[in-house]
Structure formats: structure tokens, C-alpha cells
Amino acid sequence: MSLQEYKRKRRFDRTPEPSSEGSARTGTRPIFVVQLHHASRRHYDFRLQVGDALKSWSVPKGPSYDPSVKRLAVEVEDHPVSYADFEGDIPEGYGAGHVDTFDRGYWSTPYDPEAQLEKGHLQFELYGERLKGAWHLVRSGKPSRQPTWFLFHDKDPFASKIEADDLLDARMVASTKAAAGKSGGAKEVAQKLARTRRKSPPRAKGHRHTKAIERAAAAEGARKAKIDAEFFEPQLARLKDEPPTGENWVHEVKWDGYRILTAIADGEVHLWSRNALPWDDKIPDILQAVQALGLRSARLDGELIALDADGQPDFNGLQKTLSGEANAPLAYMLFDLPYLEGWDLSRTPLIQRKAVLEALLQDAPAHLSYSSHVVGNGAQVFAAAAEQKLEGIISKRADSPYRGGRGDDWLKIKRLEADEFAVVGYTPAKGGREGFGSLLLARPAPDGDWTFVGRVGTGFSNEQLRALSRTLARGGSSKPTIAHTEGAPRESKWIPPSAVAEVYYRGIGNQHLLRQASLKTMRPDKSPDDLRDSDRAPPAPKASAKPRKRKAQVAADETGPAIRITHPDKVLYPDDGYTKQDVVDYYRAVMDWFLPGVIGRPTSLIRFPEGIAHSSFFQKHIPSGGLHYVGSARLKEETGASAVYLYPKDADSIIELVQYNTLEFHPWGSHVDDPDMADRVVFDLDPGPDVPWERVVAAARLTRKLLKDMGLESFLRTTGGKGLHVVVPLRPASDWDTVKGFAQGFATALAGSHPLDFVAVSTKKIRHRKIFVDYLRNGRGATAVASYSLRGRPGAPVAVPLRWEELGKIRNGAAFDIRSTPERLKRLRKDPWAGIDAVEQSLEEVMKRLGGG
């Protein structure tokens, strides 16, 4: 069925359900959603994304984990993908009743989904919070007005006697009880639920790993130790031209995929990229498979690959699957085990670690595979890999320990000559080609800069050309951004090193440039800084090489670690001439004033890799390449999933983030050690067009007065933009629902009592000559600019705390900048916000008084 049937059945001016327009969701893997629909006959709506639509079935009794229970599933019309976000009440006319989201997540199938649906048997896996494991949809052979299917669970480690109704939370039970008051049938269901004992989703039945654990305990060098579930540094390989000889080397296939590290502690599993980025949400199928091992503590090392139709690793298929463009089966090829169930095996010889790993993976869950090896005979193994058109082999010393970082215990030998390079520019497109002609490539130079090594113009798909034209190949400069540009074409457009491309090439030409380069793939999992940790033996510096003046500087406190500032002369504010070094100097000058507002708070960054004249991007997670001095905390998001957020720990955190071209810092109103409790309320007074500054000043004073009438002391800050922030400290802290409810109520009341001056909604067309009281910065995960943060705007303005007595002297919200702010702080005898953390005022008490309680 098409979405036309969905649209035909609905009047979108009468129902809150989404229309089909704009429903396609790209850049993610296919999703599933199960919605609990309290219609006249209560049922579960089961939906799987296939292409740009949700294939949908009505399941009256809901899914069951019991493989012997086959639940009727009535096929209904396709729904738009945007329907996955729908919750609420459907009015009379079609399916009236309340809709709750029961579960959502990703799903996969090893076969073509449309072909399976046409045949009448769909095999698939679900990766949700409540629904997990392998499932089947089988079409009934009985003729009926609507096609009927049977939904049932496979006999896998998640199989149990749990029913969907067992997994309802309090909100869903309340919705059922509310529906019971309107429908006799629903009343019976509500009575049944009242007797049902709430249960948690089943955990995978773990395997017994007695043999593997016994081998670990008996292994040479094994020692008792405890670990956490955080990232651990992977062992890396050195690139060589020929495999080593001798029986002390073992040789494995070089899998063409992404390196994935698994850390398990107290039964909690986390997956990490080689650069310490969390991958739990990207590959839920692998996460679920590792969980099914049933381990309490372990560290696993391996490669994530996708398999093509012939069972061969397919890197392009992997990238397309992760972006939702394809649905290739994923496999986690495991080749090392540095820790298992209380035993640290990092000092154990590799050959023994692999024996423990092989025992562990006996009868392993789907998606997990053991990467086997051959002892000795390296040349023959490499020849066999080349014959099978594999990327190459990895050779490892059989007696080597597991050591993080790059060394000579692990060697990689590639079948084709290929390497990774930083993208440092492009050439314009010629003829009928779209986007750009070629990408300019560079590798790290001995003096710390970059050396041009050639360009790549072939091997790009049309989609890659379009995507790279929007991101990399735009806004280039005729002035080189790297030191060594010998051999570069005259028409080159240069950008800072900003991405990594992996290319094939046919040797090195006379000018030391790549010959016949062809793109293998872009590497979004790596950054240019990763290339400084080369997998090749480091080249000897050229005798004629001369260091460039002020190309890299070190920023460090006298007692602190050195943080290397690359490209300090890069101009970040072109109209004003302020450089990256100026930004470093600014944050060093204001550090004592700046730090109290950001330390220990989850913080979102705005980074400007090429300066404020070019694109910026928003970042709240650890960037590619990893960070040394910035804290990380795993926090739950509104979707229920968790993610790793960054937060500043000290001055070195700030300087390291500035090294990554961060200009703006936007912290949460809470701390990482108690993220659910807010200790700030922020009202952003944002003037619309043609609002004179005098009215913004008056609005801030009125806001202060109204808050004071409620018993709340407030503090003032310029935003570095058009407006002002009025900040209310809370001690004790309040939960986010209370804070957001108060902020919204205050803003709405202010707009209601002064309708000619204020609005409490962000709609631009009604903001002319009015001030928007933005209360939306007071939700969990919302942010506001930090005091003393720079802004990425011409003039390099700064958000600056004020005394209320100063307000009449300020000319606008961007009155202070990168130069005047440090001078102001030198003159101040006292912090304008002195005592803000000592103010004791309870929002709950205020709410009680306002409510008459």
C-alpha cells in the first residue's frame, strides 16, 4: 500500500496525525516503532521502516516473547516515517483514541525486506528498549478483506514468557485506565492490567563460559584486576611492505571496516570507536549480540564489517548500512581479549589470549565471529589474501602483550598501495562535472605542519560529489593553509586540514606526488590529527627543512601540561583580524572568571574551523580524535537512550577545546554529577526588529522586579548579541519539570500582562517591535551561553555579567569584546556575580506560595 491510502483516509485539518509530506528520514538506519492505541478496541500498532514509509500492522494482543505464541497481525495502510514521533489523541472519524509510544529503535534483516514481504515471510531483529531479539512475520494463507499475518518471536537468547502488557510503564497504564472510563471493553483490559505484575524486558540468556574463564585464570601473566566500562586505548599496527618471517608470528585477515572496542563492567556493555567515540547507538545489533554473551566484565577488540552477497567484507556497504542507504549484514570480527571476568590478560601472550577468545565465542550469538589466524608462513597467507581480493593481512608477534598505541608487535601489509591523507583543499570543477574537480591531499610533515602530496579526482559517487561540495569543497582561499605546497596546481583552493580521505595510488612520481590516485573512501571515523600517529615508520626530517615562524605554539600553565596550539596565526575574525592565538590569549586572561560557570557542567560548543566567515558546527560530544583534558559523562537523553557528553574540568580543558577552534561555550543549568537537578533559571530577553535598547533595559528591570516580588534574587548578563539574560540561582536545586514549568508560566504571564511589549512564543512574524521572553533554555539538555564566553560574530563580542547598577551605562548587548573584557576585569574590585552560589532560594517554596499552598 502507498501513502496515498494514508492521506485518503485523513483530514489533516481535523487530526493531529502527521501528513506524508517530508516524511523521509535519511542518515540513519531503518527504524521501528510500536504504538499502544486506545481505540474502541485497544491494540498495538507495529511499524517497520521500509524505504520512506512505515509498513504497519495492527496487533490486538501485542507482541509476545514466547516463541510458541503466534499473535494475529492485521496489515493496514503504510504510514509516513514521521508517524514514529506521534503521540496524542486521534479524534472521531478514524481510529479515535489516545496513542502512546510503547517502543522504538532500529531494526535489521539479512535479506531484502520488500522481497520477503512479497513472499510472505519477513525475518528480522529488533533493537529497542522493550523489544529485542529475532522475530518473524508470516502471512496467513486464509483470504480476508485485510491481509492477516502472524507475529512471533524466534527461539533465541531473549525468548521468555513475557508479554507486551507486562512491559507497560505507569504512563501507559494510566492511559489505559483513562480509556476504561470511556469504553466497557477497555475497562476489562484495565482490570487485567491491574492484576498484571510489571516486568522488565528480558535479558539475553548468557552462555556458560566456564572453559574460557578457566583458560584465562591459567594463562601466563594473568592477574586479578577490576575495570570500568570506559574506553581503553587500542593496540595499533605499523604499515610494512612485506609480511615478517618465522614461527613467532601469527597472521590474520585485515578486515576492511571500523575498529570497535568493547568494555563491559557490572554487566553493562559499551562500544567505542578507536577515537573514544561512543557507538552504542550506531550499532545496536552488535551491542545486543555482545549483551547476549552474558558477561559481567570483559574487554574485547575487533573490527566491524559488512558482508556483501558473496560473504566478502564490503566497506562501502558498511558505510551505506550505517547511514540507512543499505541493509547489509553486520559482523563484529573479534581478534583480541585483554580482559575477561576479573582477569587482566594484557600481559598474557597473544596466542594464549586468542585461545581464551576462541573458547569464549563457541556458539556465540549472531553478529559475533572469531578472527582466526595462521602461525608462520606469512608470505603464503598474504598471497592467499591477495587471491581472495582481501585488503591485506595483519601480522602479530605470538608472544606479545596487549599494549595501547602503535608499535612493531602488530604489522599490517596491504594488498593494494593505499593510505590515508588529510583533505586540505580542492580544485574547481571543469566541463560538465558537478561540485569540484579534485580534492587536495596532504600528510604530516616532520616540522609539525603538512606537506602537499597530490590530489584525487576519481572514485567519487554522484552522492559523494554532492555531499562533499556542500561540506568540504566550498569557501576555499587562494592562500595556502599548509606550509609545503610544492607541486600544487595553480587553481587550488585551500582549506584547513578538516577531513580524511583514504585513496589507492600507483606509487610516487617525480615530484613526490601520488600517481593515479583514486578514492577508496572518506573516513569520517578519523580526523587529520589522527594521521600524526602514523602507521608508517616516521620519516627522517629533510636537511633543508626550515621551521616556519610561529607555526605552532604551546599553551600551558607553568605547572600544567603543554597543549600544542596549531596554526596560531589562523584568522578567525576576518573583519577584525583576531587570530586563533588571540582567542587562546583571551581565554587565558579571563580564565579565573570564566571557569566557575562551566566547570563540571555538560557543555555544548560552537566550533568555527575556518573562522566566523565560514560554517560553524554545534558539538556536545567528544570530537573525532579524542581529547586528553576534557571530561566525559554518560547521560540519559529524552529518548531514553544514553550518550557521552563533554564537560570542562579545568583550564586545560578550555584551552584544548580552543585548539579545536571552539569560540562559544554553552553549559547546561545543571552539573554532570546531578544532571536532573537545575541550579539556574535563565530568561533570555531577545528583542525583535526595531526594538530600541532602552526598552530592553526596561524589560530587564521589570523582570527583576517581578522576580523580587516572588522572593527571588536575580543576576544580569549581556549576551554578546542583541539582548540580556536575567539569571535566577536556585539553592536547593529543582528538577527540570519544575524549572521549565515555572519559566514558561512566568514568561506567559509577562506577555499576557504586557502584550504590546512582550511575546512568549518564538514565531518571528509576531515579534516585530516586541521582546521575546525565551524560557526554552530551561529544559534538560538546553543551554545558555556562558559568562565571559566569546561569540562567533563580527567584533568578537563577549557575554559579560553586570551589576544591576551598571545597566543604565550599557549601550547594547554586545558592549564588551575580546579586547575590552580583560581590561574591564583588571579594573573590577569585585565580581559582579559575587555570592551567586551562596544565594539560598527554593523554587518549590515560591511555587507553593504562588499556588496558595
Has 254 been annotated as catalytic? yes
DSSP state, residue 45 = E
Backbone angles phi, psi at 839, to 5 degrees: -70, 120
Q: Report helix, strand and coil shares of the chain as percent, to nearest 5.
A: 25, 30, 45
Give dist(CA 658, CA 664) in Å, integer: 9
Give dist(CA 813, CA 693) in Å, integer: 8
Count of Cβ atoms closer than 10 Å to residue 360 Cβ: 25
- Pick the catalytic residue: 55, 132, 254, 570? 254
Each residue of 524-556: b (16+ CB within 10 Å) or e? ebbbbbbbeebbeeeeeeeeeeeeeeeeebebe
Q: What stretches of 89-183 show up as alpha helix (H) in DSSP?
A: 113-119, 170-180
Give dist(CA 249, CA 374) in Å, integer: 9
Per the CB < 8 A criterion, the answer to whether 453 and 465 are in contact is no
Q: Closest Cα partner for 473 from 443, 440, 430? A: 440
User: Which H/E stretch holds residue 444?
Assistant: strand 436-444
Angle in degrees, 0-180, between the axes of helices 170-180 and 184-195, rounded to the nearest 10: 140
Give dist(CA 499, CA 255) in Å, integer: 22
Give dist(CA 586, CA 577) in Å, integer: 14
Residue 126 corresponds to which cell in the numbers above? 529488533
Q: Round the CA-based radius of gyration of the chain to a whole number and report it.
A: 30
Q: What stretches of 203-349 show up as alpha helix (H) in DSSP?
A: 210-218, 284-291, 315-323
Sequence-distant (≥ 6) Cβ neighbours of residue 350 within 8 angstroms: 250, 336, 396, 397, 398, 399, 400, 401, 402
Angle in degrees, 0-180, between the axes of helices 651-659 and 580-589, rounded to the nearest 10: 170
Give dist(CA 440, CA 210) in Å, integer: 54
Per the CB < 8 A criterion, the answer to whether 614 and 606 are in contact is no
Give dist(CA 556, CA 572) in Å, integer: 21
Count of Cβ atoms closer than 10 Å to residue 380 Cβ: 12
Count of Cβ atoms closer than 10 Å to residue 705 Cβ: 10
- Written as one letter, the residue type at 297 is S
Residue 1 corresponds to which cell in the numbers above? 500500500
Beta-strand pair 418-428/436-444: antiparallel
Beta bridge partners of 395: 251, 411
Burial (0-12, 13-18, 19+ Cβ within 10 Å), 111: middle
Backbone angles phi, psi at 752, to 5 degrees: -70, -35
- Let me know how long the chain is: 853
Give dist(CA 219, CA 348) in Å, integer: 7
Measure CA of the first residue to CA of the last residue in the chain; give whole Å: 56
| Cα 380–chain centre separation | 42
| Cα 95–chain centre separation | 36
Q: Closest Cα partner for 85 from 49, 33, 130, 50? A: 33
Give dist(CA 474, CA 25) in Å, integer: 26
Beta-strand pair 368-370/662-667: unpaired
Beta-strand pair 223-224/53-59: unpaired
| Cα 365–chain centre separation | 26
Per the CB < 8 A criterion, the answer to whether 393 and 253 are in contact is yes
Residues serving a catalytic function are 254
